[in-house]
Amino acid sequence: MEKDNKLKVMRFWIFGAFIIIVASATLYIGSVVGTGTAIFREMRYWIAIFISALLCVISYYGYHKYLDRKE
């Protein structure tokens, strides 16, 4: 598999994982804790979303560097 194809597949899976994490965290907090849609007004929620997005971007670029080093 070429490097570009590997990066495209990794981008797909990282984005998918991010969407699943955001959706499940939002549904869990909204339904189990009982806040409903008021969770979107919480700054801590948006900070957690930002941190998870940052971790996804870091893992993508880490994999990109790993593929560059592997060649």
Q: Which residue has the higher pLDDT, 3 or 23?
A: 23
pTM of the full structure: 0.82
What is residue 37's predicted lDDT score, i.e. its pLDDT?
A: 82
71 pLDDT higher than 80? no
Closest CA to 8 of 51, 69, 64: 64
**21-30 as b/e, with b when 16 or more CB fall inside 10 Å?**
beeeeeeebb
Band of pLDDT at residue 32, cut at 50, 70 and 90: confident
Q: What is the CA radius of gyration of the chain?
A: 16
